[in-house]
Amino acid sequence: MTVYTYSEARQKFSSVLNKANQEGSVRIRRKDGQTFLLKPEKTGKSPLDVPCLNLKLSTADIIDAIKEGRRN
């Protein structure tokens, strides 16, 4: 995990956010030794949550496609 001083984080804030996004988190340390953990917020959205397509397929069409896929 990358650790930045408060001054570095302030000067390179955009880079710090990018690094936190890449690595999962970064630490920021103050002069007094106190540290803070910066993590990207999770969106709560599944990567499998994709828009559906309205193809108007019948049950027979779907079964035929499955059978054809199993033959190959």
pLDDT digits (tens, 9 = 90+) for 11-54: 999 999 999 999 999 999 999 999 999 999 987 888 888 888 88
State the pLDDT at residue 60. 95
Q: Which residues pair with 35 in a beta bridge?
A: 29
CB crowding 21-30: b at 16 or more within 10 Å, else e: eeeeebebee
pTM above 0.75, yes or no: no
State the pLDDT at residue 42. 84
Amino acid at 13: F
Residue-range domains of the chain with CATH: 1-41 (3.40.1620.10)
